[in-house]
Structure 1
Amino acid sequence: MDSEEFRLPRSQAANERLHAMIPGGAHTYAKGDDQYPENLAPVISHGRGAHVWDVDGNRYIEYGSGLRSVSLGHAHPRVTEAVRRELDRGSNFVRPSIVEADAAERFLATVPTAEMVKFAKNGSDATTAAVRLARAATGRPRVAICGDQPFFSVDDWFIGSTPMSAGIPSAITDLTVAFPYGDLAATEELLTRYQDEVACLILEPAGHTEPPPGYLVGLRELADRHGCVLVFDEMISGFRWSEAGAQGLYGVVPDLSTFGKALGNGFAISALAGRRELMERGGLRHVDDRVFLLSTTHGAETHSLAAAMAVQTTYVEEGITEQLHALGERLAAGVRDAAAGMGVGDHVVVRGRASNLVFATLDENGQPSQQYRTLFLRRLLAGGVLAPSFVVSSALSDADIDHTVDAVAQACAVYRKALDVGDPTSWLGGRPVKPVFRRLA
């Protein structure tokens, strides 16, 4: 595909259809066409393994599949076969299916730091249930979020803290406070300032950098000392860090944790897990006030539970986490070499754990640039690489990574030209990509 002539007319028409009927043109803002160069937002026809095809007939090597959910690759045979077995048996009943017991046993064996689990369909429901449970258990109103991390929930307690806070009363947003990642002293100051008011600390235990030595242990101690609930959001780190998540890797046990994304390999399932003493507050075998924890009509669809069990079995038996790290390390090394070889090693920067790589696009002053990101994405798309991030799936082959590195090198050659003239505008093909969280459309 020649980058100067690369066009997506059918995808462009499909995007117009989507916008006419669906607010934002997608069901997740991170999938919006504003996240891609103008008129170059592929609309997907189908996917297999590490590849997807758009409605224009182009094939791409795909990264960040399903917003990090499809970590085994699309249409993984073990997962799809497990789903097929359940489809003919019915998907939803008026009483629990025995599959729910099987799935809970399998999850708790995979994540032994948890004592009970409840399944849902999306991550927001799980994190909001954790917040509600923490508030009920502590009798406290405030929620402390890690302010350095981008997303926890679509619900008011979190979205009210973002630039997209329209429609959320200040009475709710005032109850959410923020602490910085890696800074125990600042977190203790926050807990002291709101003494006996903070119900929980919620954070991703690890992100683009490794936790500072002693940080998670120190956070555990702070939560215990101040009587608040420690919640790990393992939507991303679950399975990608280890089968038992970051808590399994770093050996720090939260009171509650939430899982999703990789758990279903694209099928809709999430999980709230944690200490029995807390989780049982949402059950029927306690004497305290009842907590409306999670109660979802489709939370235990049998085929999604079967998918989750197949995913966990595949991860353990095939060493998927290790594969993700090995693939990510190979990709990161190749991208860094390609960027350095084109003289933009200080501008196209790969960051994060090998299993969860992202990239930064920096301008001539070393500042993050949406314009340079647009240039970079545009050239990758023309090279057959769909990469809002460099988050790998285990379906990637060595040839896929080699092709990706070649596409990156070609993109970096154009990047160097733009840096030399100090203005990437003529290489953008339209408006720059936009951040998800912004006040105005």
Structure 2
Amino acid sequence: MPEFTRSNDVQDRLHRLVPGGAHTYARGADQYPEGKAPILLRGYGARVWDCDGNEYVEYGMGLRSVTLGHGYPPVVEAVTRTIAHGVNFSRPTELELLAAQDFLSLVPHADMVKFAKNGSDTTTAAVRLARAVTGRETVAVCDQPFFSVDDWFIGITEMSAGIPASPTVQFRYNDLGSLAEVLESEDIACVILEQATALAEPALGFLEGVRALCDRHGALLIFDEMITGFRWSPGGGQQLYGVRPDLSCWGKAMANGFPLSALAGKREYMELGGLRTDADRVFLLSTTHGPETASLAAFRAVVEAYRSTDPIGRMEHAGRRLAEGVNAVAAEIGIADHLQVRGRSSCLVFLTKDPEGNPSQPYRTLFLQELLERGVLGQSFVTSAAHTDADIDHTVDACREAAIVYRKALEHGSVDGFLTGRPVAPALRRQAAPRRLPDIPTRR
């Protein structure tokens, strides 16, 4: 049984210094079994080690940002060579040109690109640009989990405290009627959506229909490629599905975990943030660290890996073996209706249901707990190109033992007596409860 003594101590100290105890809500301790949230020290390939010395096969891989594996040598070598000559300068570097050329060679639907650091930087820049182009303010977003930390999106989530009313409306994925209704009833500046998610592929004609509706109503079409980019295909969903957006936003896997994002799009719109326009200029993206050399060098090494090897094929191979293995285990143990691995093979999730067949956070937490105790870490089963057959075999074996415990809890009718601590809670929720922490004692 692994120990979490040092991890718990470090986590407690983080909570005293960092709001939420992590710099990303999805990385928070409330997303893991209570008292069993590892604090990591290092990683290599698809394996990570925590400060108690526990070793895990990791899934999710940096919230889907690491597709080639931790410490991927060509990326490490490219970054090391580059930063020896400086990281940030007061003028552009040739590296910025080379990186832009590399990006646009992968994304033929885009004419221009501008780099930044966070995905939210680019989605917000795209919204700002669309508002300038159309003279409208309202944004139509798909009913998908997350697009930005900025007011225009967070204002419609459960964590909207401190945010003024946002002119943002929603439409339903794969429902052209709901989008048409929004576009007919509101003056929409732009429509933003993920073309696909782990559990949802576009229905026949859906993306083409979205494109046509945007054209008919004069709204810009923005594709969020944070997850689909470098995971569905090197050129993202727009390459795979063949529908051209006006603007697209990229991040996560661009630089194998190094901080880099991109806004790309048609020249006629992107130049409004440049110097080839007579219109009022848009303050598009202007970041000190957007073009720093480490991330651009990492990005170029990632592009070379995608050109010379087949990372997506390896992710999909690992994902297929994992889904087949875990689903077979669940069927063998008799809980296939309650524990399932589903989704695109390069972006798998596991579904956990209670005895009545309803999605369950307590049973999800129990499954996470049992996997952690058997050397598997992950809120999902998102693979990387570094996941080997041995990693998958280890995970399937861990799932077999976890599934036996899961079945006992189903037979018992609840996780009481099986789960240690409180269940996980949604990352974006209005109150800290049900995972609120005690107040820090006042010193006298």
Place the TM-score, normalised by the shorter chain, in its bin: over 0.9
1:361, 1:143 → 2: CA distance?
34
Partner of 2:288: 297
Which residue identity is paired with 1:165? S
Partner of 2:191: 201
Q: What is the deviation of 1:71?
A: 0.9
CA RMSD of aligned residues (A): 0.7
TM-score, length-normalised on structure 1? 0.97
SS at 2:395 equivalent: helix
Q: What is the deviation of 1:288?
A: 0.7
Please list the CA deviations of residues 22-53 of structure 1 after superposition, one character each: whole Å capped at 9, or x if unmatched.
11111000000000001000000100000000
Partner of 1:161: 156
Partner of 1:286: 277
Can you give the 5+ residue segments of structure 2 that lack an aligned partner in the other structure?
Answer: 433-444
Q: What is the deviation of 1:384?
A: 0.1
Partner of 2:332: 341
1:187 pairs with 175, 179, 184, which one?
Answer: 179
Q: What is the deviation of 1:326?
A: 1.4
* Equivalent pair of 1:371/1:425 in contact (CA under 8 Å): no
Partner of 2:401: 410
1:115, 1:328 → 2: CA distance?
33
Q: What is the deviation of 1:316?
A: 1.9
Which residue identity is paired with 1:35? Q
Q: What is the deviation of 1:323?
A: 1.5
Q: What is the deviation of 1:360?
A: 1.3
Q: What is the deviation of 1:7?
A: 3.0
1:87, 1:337 → 2: CA distance?
47
TM-score, length-normalised on structure 2? 0.96
Match runs of 1:115-154 below 5 Å: 115-147=111-143, 149-154=144-149
Partner of 1:397: 388
SS at 1:392 equivalent: coil
Match runs of 1:46-61 below 5 Å: 46-61=42-57
Please list the CA deviations of residues 296-336 of structure 1 after superposition, one character each: whole Å capped at 9, or x if unmatched.
00000011001011111101210111111111111111111
Please list the CA deviations of residues 121-179 of structure 1 after superposition, one character each: whole Å capped at 9, or x if unmatched.
010001000000000001001000111x1110000000001000000012xx2x00000
Partner of 1:42: 38
Report whether the alignment pairs 1:96 with 2:88: no
* Equivalent pair of 2:371/2:399 in contact (CA under 8 Å): yes
1:409, 1:395 → 2: CA distance?
23
SS at 1:67 equivalent: helix
1:223, 1:323 → 2: CA distance?
36
Partner of 1:67: 63
Which residue identity is paired with 1:292? F
1:112, 1:304 → 2: CA distance?
22
* Equivalent pair of 1:379/1:411 in contact (CA under 8 Å): yes
Partner of 1:263: 254
Partner of 1:77: 73
Which residue identity is paired with 2:189? A
Displacement over 4 Å in runs of 4+: none
Partner of 1:235: 226
Q: What is the deviation of 1:426?
A: 1.4
* Equivalent pair of 2:195/2:201 in contact (CA under 8 Å): no
Q: What is the deviation of 1:351?
A: 2.0
Q: What is the deviation of 1:348?
A: 1.1
Which residue identity is paired with 1:212? A
SS at 2:417 equivalent: helix
State percent identity of aligned pairs: 60
Report whether the alignment pairs 1:219 with 2:210: yes
Q: What is the deviation of 1:86?
A: 0.7
Give the aligned length: 431
SS at 2:299 equivalent: helix
